[in-house]
Amino acid sequence: MNRHRWQSWLTVIGVMLGVAMVVGVDLANNSARRAFSLSLQSIAGPTTHQIIGGPTGIPEQLFTKLRTELAIRSSLPMVTGPVIIRGESFSLLGVDPVSEASVGRHTAGLQYQGLGTAISSRDSMMLPERAATRLHLKPLDIFNLQIGDKNIPVRLAATFPSENPAATDGLIFADIAVAQRLLNRFGYLDRIDLILDDKTSASVRTWLPPGLSLVDSESRNDNLRQMSEAFHINLTAMSLLALLVATLLIYNTVTLSVLQRRNTLGIYRALGVTRKEVFFVVIRESLALATIASLAGLLLGLLLGQVLVELVTRTVNDLFFNLHVTAFIIDPFSLLKGFVVGLGMSLAACSLPAWEASRNQPISVMQRSVLERRWQRRLPKFTIGAIIMLAIGFVMLVPTHGTLVEGFVALTFIVLGFCLLVPVFLILATRSLLRLFSPWLNSTARIAIRDISAGISRTGMAVAALTVAVSVTVGVGVMVSSFRETVNLWLGQYLSADIYISTADRSGTGLTQSLIVQLQAIPGVSSVSPSRVTTIETQFGPIRTIATTPIKGTSSLPLKHSVNNALTLFDQGKGVMITEPLAYHQQLAPGDSINVVTNEGTKALSILGVYYDFTSSTGMIALHRNAYRQWWNDERISTLSIYRDADANQMEVLKAIKMVLKDEDKQIRVSSNREIREVAIAVFDRTFEITRVLRILAIVVAFVGVLSALMALQLERTREFAILRATGMTPKQIGLMIFGQTSLMGVLAGIMSIPLGLVMANILIDVINRRSFGWSMLYHMPTTVLVEALLLAIFAAALAGIYPALKASSISPAQALREE
């Protein structure tokens, strides 16, 4: 092993990176999941149920009745809203400290003085001690709360110890009266948490007026948790692909190490060392290497995890749920898992060559040709195995509603099947190269090419590893690029208006009918369309809903499929449109119906169409604002879409709109179509940053893998080169031969990685993505990704050839052969 330090180190690095990716992704995933449950738990505490209101919230009188008429004492009112303190995001929870104390939740750790001030003053805040320390805030300090676009000075009344500091970090508390004022939520509550037994929960459920629902905290949290599960599975799968490459790498290294020492092993066997002992000698050595690599991988994984957790949390925040906890949690189990997976894969990878070494007769171990011949014989079996694996993989992809994990298993079968085909491809490719280009090839080139198939036992797996690694970059690259292109096209269709006005204020009082009239009067404005964005309770849990007022004759919703007359029926309020993810996840189609909780009780709304939407992976509902106003009795407006006349100047219209809004002292934002597109694409890019990072890591693993495999391959052949030198080859010829050979392997791997990568991209787009998110997208194949892949393979291979080429060319034949 000492003889080939380079090779050992590169293998260690490869395995280390593979393990680091698995560990890093696992840690990041677990941290995000933990943050998720902490976020949910910390808000819900020991409560069993929640009363949830419609779009407007829960009228606060309901709480008074709950206490005074129903005598439901374990009831905790809450108003919530996002705020920013010194650049950090917090959730402001408006609570009743007296109720919280009675169940030992949240502000229960408050002392009397703080509690008194909190309840009686109009600007008092309460913070868990840890957050206060981090923000450098002491009781009585004045600081700013940023709510929407406003900065509001408030006072820290008290800090309190929190039982679960990690969970309450990111929460700031205020008395409900203070919170209602700050969040402008007068008269309403966002939720009422309850501790109920089965009997009382049934009676509360029947007592609740229409429009309000009682949900089980546990199942609601589960629903929320499941939303992001697909995303986590995706990340894990990507890290496992990296490990697969690392495994191929180990296999390759061990095979080579066995080959290198075939003499020694043969002598051992001749001296009476048993097969078992030989097997374990090989295993032990490989395990030592794998242990070092896995341990190093753990350390690197810890570092990587810290970077990834931010990216993962950000994506979860963008796509699913507002996490107020962002802790990096080191789960010992993740570390153990990474270590065991690293070792296990290494063991599996090296046991085949070890078995190979032990199986041989003493004399045949010494002959490489025996091994090569055996491999040649084995090739047809490989091919059959490959075909079976590919068949299983593709068959598994057939059902449209399979699970995500099944999708990944299928992908793995396809990748492995492809790997098994690589040696055959290599042989065929080198043979045809020799045949086609024979007239132009000199003997050196011919030797170089023929050697690839002659040494298939070593080249096969090295090229397979390279192929898989490069194909991952192709697959992921094509998928992300297709997705981005699709979103871009969709945005163009979806953002049909020229200017949008929105309010951050949830009560939406800033956008009024009279404002619409004023805006319509602006010259150049052709129409103003109000919409309301909110969340409604459905049989599938809370779903974001947009109540729109489409301009006659147009549909701002890019429809995928719909019932006849869908647009007319929609305008008449005869049903709703749902987004593609909702349709996919809940298996809904136009013509079906969806149960929603309205102010008039539960209603079954018929589904008129399914439209493309990439704003929510959990799904959305769209309905006509008139129908919404009628059923939810909610006149508020969240967004105004403004269309200008074709000949009107955008800048002038914008200026005029800003003039109109100048007098409105509300949190109103005006954005142009272009600005929103830019923001949307920025969010998209941010969401896929983690994918990009993992792709780069996969490239690094691939690079290291190729470097190590090919370099080892050539270094192992020192004696062979010496013979070539002795038979008259010049050092330059030897160097060129080696360099050319590795580069050729790089080219071949690069070429093979493209079909595999494209198949992978297809699976990612049509199977994995759809099963994860329900999004369908256009297939977009950027040439840059393909060129990148080829260059990567060739560059890595060429680089791997340089050192052996130099070394082999400087070899002294006499010295190298003396060993014989």
Residues that bind other proteins (CB under 8 A): 60-61, 63-64, 67-71, 73, 96, 98-99, 101-102, 104, 108-112, 115-117, 119-122, 163, 175-178, 180-181, 186-187
Cα 39 from Cα 159, distance rounded (Å)? 20
Q: Cβ of residue 534: shortest distance to other proteins, in angstroms?
A: 22
DSSP string, 749-771: HHHHHHHHHHHHHHHIIIIIIHH
User: Which CA distances in Å does 702 have to 177, 236, 249?
Assistant: 59, 18, 9
CB nearer to other proteins: pick between 7 and 200 = 200
Q: Which is nearer to other proteins, 185 or 695 (CB)?
A: 185
Residues 765 and 812 sit within 8 Å (Cβ to Cβ): no
Nearer to other proteins, 119 or 751 (CB): 119
CA gap 807, 19 in Å, rounded: 32
Nearest CB to other proteins, comparing residues 75 and 545: 75
Q: Which amino acid is at 437?
A: F
Q: Cα(325)–Cα(312) distance, rounded to whole angstroms?
A: 13
The answer to whether the CB of 475 falls within 8 A of the CB of 757 is yes
Q: How far is the CB of 338 from other proteins (least distance, A)?
A: 38
Residue with Cβ nearer other proteins (188 or 279): 188
Between CA 6 and CA 800 the distance in angstroms is 11
Q: Which residues contact 528 (CB under 8 A, 6 or more apart)?
A: 516, 519, 520, 640, 641, 642, 643
Q: Closer CB to other proteins, residue 177 or residue 258? A: 177
Q: How far is the CB of 666 from other proteins (least distance, A)?
A: 14
When the beta carbons of 67 and 446 are compared against other proteins, the nearer one is: 67
CB atoms within 10 A of CB 10: 23
Alpha carbon distances (Å) from 486 to 473, 614, 672, 776, 777: 20, 9, 21, 9, 6
Q: How far is the CB of 98 from other proteins (least distance, A)?
A: 5
Q: How near is the Cβ of 505 to other proteins at its closest, in Å?
A: 14
Return the number of the residue (176 or 519) whose C-beta is nearest other proteins. Answer: 176
Work out the angle at residue 514's Cα, subtended by the Cα atoms of residues 149 and 662, and round it to the nearest 5 degrees.
40
Q: Which is nearer to other proteins, 75 or 221 (CB)?
A: 75
- In the 8-state DSSP scheme, what is residue 106? G
Q: Would you say 117 or 257 has its CB closer to other proteins?
A: 117
d(CA 280, CA 351): 9
Nearest to 417 by CA among 696, 756, 106: 756
Token code pair at residue 818: 């003396």
Answer whether 581's CB lies under 8 Å from 632's CB.
no
Residue placing its CB nearer to other proteins in the complex, 115 or 311: 115
Task: Compute the least distance from the CB of residue 176 to other proteins, in Å.
Answer: 5
Distance CA 88, CA 324 (A): 10
Nearest CB to other proteins, comparing residues 117 and 687: 117
Give which of 220, 238, 164 is closest to 49, Cα–Cα. 220
- Residue whose CB is less far from other proteins, 163 or 788: 163
Cβ at position 69, least distance to other proteins in Å: 7
Q: Cα–Cα distance between 820 and 227 in angstroms, integer?
A: 65
Q: How far is the CB of 251 from other proteins (least distance, A)?
A: 57
Radius of gyration from C-alpha coordinates of the chain = 33
The SS3 of residue 122 is coil
**How near is the Cβ of 83 to other proteins at its closest, in Å?**
17
Other beta carbons within 10 Å of 544: 18
- Cβ 212 to other proteins shortest distance, Å: 17
Q: How many CA atoms lie within 13 A of 503 on its CB side?
A: 24
Of 285, 242, 292, give the one whose Cα is nearest residue 265: 285
- Given the complex with other proteins, which of 40 and 157 has the nearer CB atom? 157
Nearer residue to other proteins within complex by CB, 116 or 402: 116
Q: At what angle do helices 673-687 and 689-715 cross, to 10 degrees?
A: 40
The answer for residues whose C-beta is within 8 angstroms of residue 288's C-beta and 6 or more apart is none
Whole-number minimum distance, CB 127 to other proteins, in Å? 16
Q: What do you get for the CA distance between the two ends of the chain, in Å?
A: 19
- Supply the minimum distance, in Å, between the C-beta of residue 186 and other proteins: 6
| Closer CB to other proteins, 102 or 223, in the complex | 102
C-beta of 162 vs 639, nearer to other proteins: 162
* Gap between the Cα atoms of 241 and 728, Å rounded: 45
- How far is 4 from 332, CA to CA, in rounded Å? 34
**Residue-wise over 238-274: b if at least 16 C-beta within 10 A, else e?**
bbbbbbbbbbbbbbbbbbbbbbbbbeebbebbeeeee
DSSP collapsed to 3 states, 303-316: HHHHHHHHHHHHHH
3-state secondary structure of 547: strand
CB of 185 to other proteins, least distance (A): 9
Q: How far is the CB of 76 from other proteins (least distance, A)?
A: 12
The answer to whether 118 and 97 are in contact (CB under 8 A) is yes
Rounded to the nearest 10°, the torsion over CA 9, 13, 15, 19 is: 150
State in angstroms the smallest separation of the CB of 39 from other proteins. 23
Output the smallest distance, CB 241 to other proteins, in A: 48
What are the backbone angles phi and psi of residue 57, rounded to the nearest 5°?
110, -165
64 vs 133, beta carbon nearer other proteins: 64
* CA nearest neighbour of 651 among 629, 675, 626: 675
Least Å distance between CB 94 and other proteins? Answer: 8
Shortest distance, CB of residue 111 to other proteins, whole angstroms?
A: 7
Q: Give the three-state DSSP class for 533.
A: strand
